[in-house]
Amino acid sequence: MTETDKGLFCAHCGSAMVDSSIISGVASCQICGWTGNVNELVAIPFNQKVGSPEEVLRQLSLEIRQLLAKNTATEFVRLLIKWGFIGQQIDKNEVARYFGVVAKNIATGLIEARQEIERERMARS
């Protein structure tokens, strides 16, 4: 198994929001504040090839983008026209760019919400 086949989770609270450095061997959790050795992190295999938080964000954005393009393209373009983001003469590159940025921000928002939920969960327990 390679590094990209598994996710690393906090040994203390199980959060995925961990900072780790293979080079220094030090890991810390953004949720519960745990710090320790990288080897202490719980490694869980992913069914997808995702690794670093950046890669997770990239993959998630890509999937959201595909989902939006597949299911909401017409409505989304209509909304962009209505709000004046694009003109009646549709520029496909502009539309693609808006789709990209919307997908990325949804992905970022989801991850932020997940972090908040985990923090709240920790505060309660």
**Cβ neighbours around 117 below 10 Å, total:** 10
Q: Which of residues 6-35 bind Zn ion (CB under 5 A)?
A: 10, 12-13, 15, 29, 31-32, 34
In the complex with Zn ion, the residue whose CB is nearer, 32 or 80, is 32
DSSP 30: T
Q: Which of residues 32-51 bind Zn ion (CB under 5 A)?
A: 32, 34
- Would you state the structure tokens that stand for residue 116, as one six-digit string? 């908040």
In the complex with Zn ion, the residue whose CB is nearer, 13 or 68, is 13
- In the complex, the smallest distance separating the C-beta of residue 108 from Zn ion, rounded to whole angstroms, is 21
Instruction: Let me know: does 123 contact 32? Beta carbons within 8 Å.
Output: no
- Residue 61 burial (CB < 10 Å; 0-12/13-18/19+)? buried
Integer Cα distance of 110 and 77 in angstroms: 23
For helices 73-82 and 53-71, the axis angle rounded to 10 degrees is: 90
In the complex with Zn ion, the residue whose CB is nearer, 6 or 104, is 6
The site for Zn ion, by CB under 5 A, has a size of 8
In the complex with Zn ion, the residue whose CB is nearer, 78 or 121, is 121
- In the complex, the smallest distance separating the C-beta of residue 67 from Zn ion, rounded to whole angstroms, is 30
Which positions lie near Zn ion, rule CB under 5 A? 10, 12-13, 15, 29, 31-32, 34
